[in-house]
Amino acid sequence: MAEKTAQEYQAEIDRLKKELEQVKTAAAMPITGTLAVGGRTASHTVFGIEEMLLQVNADDTVGYVNSQMAKLLEMPDRKLVLGTSLSRWDEGKIGSGVLAALVRVARSSSEPHVLERNCPDVPPSLLPESKSERPLGDPILRFAATAAKGSVHITAQDVTVLRWLEGTFSRYVSPAVIEQMQHLESGELLSTERKELTILFADLRGFTAISQELPPEEVQEMVNSFLSNMVACVEKLEGTVDKFVGDEIMVLFGAPMPQPDHALRALICGVEMQRVHNIWMAKRNADNKPARSMGIGIATGPVVVGNIGTETRMDYTVLGHHVNLAARLCGKAEGGEVLTVPNTHQAGMNAAQHYQGTVPIPRLSFKAQGKMEFKNVHEPIDVISVSTSQK
């Protein structure tokens, strides 16, 4: 390896310091054990990801290294490297001068420092083993450096899969669900498959007419306020927001995270949405703001689920008869009504004994509405309305 000049080393250190300063204001990540970083919450560790550990002594020698960090830095024997100069191991595949920059910046402040960077030269063989298949692209490593009594503790973690999950699913699920998804086998996330899910559609009654009468900014305010409430309900039941279409929201239960009680979660979500929406309408009416009632449709059955689209635009979504049926039920529902079908009702009741949600099961009431005909559905369907006596 060609020797670098002092100016080149300094340039690399300055560049890394700039990266560190930029990341200090980044959004907090799903973590355990809080530390203050640039006025925000951060940590040595991202939840559930194996740590690579290095301790640097006050004289810039190696004080401790665990086996995973030794592998990353290509150290021959982690016990034999104790007491050796840090600079000897700072020319590796993570980038020249990265460790020195972390040490230097950590010592310059009383706060821990966090850095994430793409490491294109790091092969998977140098990283901790993972049961998840690695997504395409460069490995992304997260470093955290903390000074303590002259020494510096450096933690590194491979967050490649986590960042891929966030990029792919953050539009659909809450950070808490993404945190759980890290522990799934890659096949459960990357494949397109047929599986049984429950689909929920909700939208406002008479929205098209009122949207033509109101100024655009009032339409936007009303829809944003409505959808914010609905998303909050979905997140409480750990559902997946598939998409918004105008004032309509489409929600999945049972994907991407498996949920054996998906039908019951959807039914609870539906009545909770109506409860929250009634409060919203009352407040807006009192404030002389426009408000409309909402209809909801819920259906359960086998659908095709996965990333669907083209090379340039992919969306995580579902396709199939029961998607269409849930949408038709939503369209048929009166304001304040939740409509479903017998298989959702039965699946929901069967799931009551093994329900794993945090929202208590309300006292659900089901009422047969008779058979109804729907566009693109060959036969009339038995329809059931769902409500609750709890306020």
Q: Which of 12, 71, 18, 44 is nearest to 143 (CA)?
A: 44
Structure tokens at 390: 């709890």
pLDDT tens per residue, range 129-171: 876 666 667 889 999 999 988 899 999 998 887 787 777 666 6
**CATH number for the domain formed by residue range(s) 6-163:** 3.30.450.20
pLDDT tens per residue, range 11-68: 555 554 454 444 333 333 333 333 322 232 334 445 567 889 999 999 999 999 999 9
Per-residue model confidence (pLDDT) at position 145: 93
Cβ neighbors of 245 (< 8 A, separation 6 or more) are none
> For the stretch 248-272, what's the b/e string if a residue is b when 16 or more beta carbons lie within 10 angstroms of its beta carbon?
bbbbbbbbbbebebbbbbbbbbbbb
**Residue whose token pair is 């986590």:** 162
Cα(251)–Cα(310) distance, integer angstroms: 22
* CB-count exposure of residue 7 (10 Å: 0-12, 13-18, 19+): exposed
Per-residue model confidence (pLDDT) at position 12: 53
Backbone angles phi, psi at 262, to 5 degrees: -60, -35
Per-residue model confidence (pLDDT) at position 64: 94
Structural domain boundaries in the chain? 6-163, 192-388
> Which ranges of the chain have pLDDT less than 70?
1-48, 131-136, 168-191, 310-314, 390-391
Per-residue model confidence (pLDDT) at position 253: 96
Q: Which amino acid is located at 339 in the chain?
A: L
Cα(370)–Cα(361) distance, integer angstroms: 26
Per-residue model confidence (pLDDT) at position 128: 86
Are the CB atoms for 340 and 386 separated by under 8 Å? yes
Topology of the domain covering 192-388: Alpha-Beta Plaits (3.30.70)
